[in-house]
Amino acid sequence: MHQPPHPSAALKAALPMTDLDMLESQSVFILREAYRRLKPTALLWSLGKDSTVMIWLARKAFLGRVPFPAVHVDTGKTFPEMYDFRDRTARDWGLDLIIGDCPPVEAIDPSLPPAARKSAGLAALIDRHGWRGVIAGIRRDEQPTRAKERVFSPRGAGHRWDVRNQPPEFWDQFATPIEDGAHVRVHPLLAWREIDIWRYIERENIPVVELYFARDGKRYRSLGDQDITSPIESNAATVPEIIAELRETRAPERAGRAMDHESEDSFERLRVGGYL
């Protein structure tokens, strides 16, 4: 005999989608499109809150298993707490972890911030593995240059980004490259805000690096290398407290990142050249 659905399931189906539900659904769709249309593909994991949420979404999109490698472009200057988090989380989630090195500072353009090492390290990895899709956890609200990105953002040969000549994206129709040596940067979190990330972390109980939580009146709001990242004044020691703090603050998210005090032209040149 046919059994009626459980009342709680019927109630859940009848409830309208929340804003987090819609963001999650959009990101899952983007991740599945990237997997379907771009092979081979890799997912960049900076070990921060955004890319960790992105891996969580990928696990949801593919029934618990991430079907592409998680790539950490390592400068060797990451906080010890982040390395511990990487190794523990990669093991717990069964990730195919690829760790790539970066060239020395002397090998990059001296007019660019030291973060340009990551661009060179990522370019070497893309060339070595032949990735056609590279999934990254950037958001439009994070930094003005990143707001110029598309969801599927083609990079030409040599990993160059033509910021003034990008394909339109109507009705979730995404462009993919056709030229040799090109690839596509895919941005599943582009429409998310910082507070959305933390609300989703709270809802899903997603683990993040402990440095995000206040200790002795300071915490890290954005994480990068030790030599270019500073903590902010804060007493927010839990996820709900961070969310409450974000509702009140007017300070930019990356105020503690040294490279964000460089000129806008410098940051755009970084991204044009392949920066994360």
The model's pLDDT over 212-259, given as tens digits with 9 standing for 90+, comes to 999 999 999 999 888 888 999 999 999 999 999 999 988 888 776 655
**Backbone φ, ψ for residue 69 (5° rounding):** -70, 150
Pick from 5-19, 175-189, 258-272: least confident: 258-272
Structure tokens at 44: 């960049």
Q: Does the residue 48 lie in any domain?
A: yes
**In a 3-state reduction of DSSP, which class is residue 133?**
strand
72 and 107 belong to one structural domain: yes
The reply to whether 118 and 224 lie within a common domain is: no
Contact assessment for residue 101 and residue 74, using Cβ atoms and an 8 Å cutoff: yes
Q: Looking at the structure, do residues 153 and 244 belong to the same domain, yes or no?
A: no
Tokens of 10: 């019927």
In a domain, 65, yes or no: yes
pLDDT in the model for residue 263: 47
CATH code where residue 78 lies: 3.40.50.620
SS3 content of the chain, % helix, strand, coil (to 5): 45, 10, 45
Residue 41 has pLDDT above 50, yes or no: yes
Same domain membership, residue 31 and residue 96? yes
Better pLDDT: 31 or 150: 31
Are 204 and 101 members of one domain? no
Average pLDDT over residues 200-215: 98
d(CA 262, CA 266): 6
Q: Where are the beta strands (DSSP E) in 107-215?
A: 133-135, 152-155, 183-186
Domain count for the chain: 2
In a domain, 36, yes or no: yes
Q: Quote the pTM value.
A: 0.83
Q: Confidence class of residue 141 from pLDDT cuts 50, 70 and 90?
A: confident
Residue 106 resides in a domain:
yes
pLDDT of residue 270: 45
Task: Tell me whether residue 6 is in a domain.
Answer: no
Q: What is the pLDDT of residue 161?
A: 62
Residue 5 lies in a domain: no
CA 63 – CA 222 distance, rounded (Å): 29
Judge if 132 and 187 occupy the same domain: yes
Other C-beta atoms lying within 10 Å of the C-beta of residue 273: 18
| 210 and 140 within one domain | no
Q: Are residues 122 and 58 in the same domain?
A: yes
Averaged confidence pLDDT in the chain: 83
pLDDT value for 111: 62
Range of the domain at 210: 199-248
pLDDT of residue 167: 67
Residue 40: asked if its preceding bond is cis (omega within 30°), the reply is: yes
- Could you tell me where the DSSP H helices lie in 130-227? 194-204
Query: Could you tell me if 65 and 151 lie in one domain?
Result: yes
Q: What is the CA radius of gyration of the chain?
A: 19
